[in-house]
Amino acid sequence: MNTGLNWIKSSYSGDNSGNCVEVATCPHTVHVRDSKDLTVPALALSPAAWADFLTYAAQ
């Protein structure tokens, strides 16, 4: 269910690199995918789970 989502790449990712994590947000879901292989399904997380992940990753 990746169709129609507005995917955003991190500003830390260079334009020449295909190794990026992309995120698309909806009101009740945060979708996360690997830009290297768009055939792999994206993860679908609750906004609370995404916020918890970001807090953990920032440590």
Instruction: Please tell me the distance from the alpha carbon of residue 17 to that of residue 35, in angstroms, as a whole number.
Output: 10
Local confidence band at 3 (pLDDT 50, 70, 90 cut-offs) = low
Considering the chain, what percentage of its residues have pLDDT values greater than 90? 58
How large is the average pLDDT for residues 26-52? 93
Helix (H) or strand (E) holding 8: strand 8-9
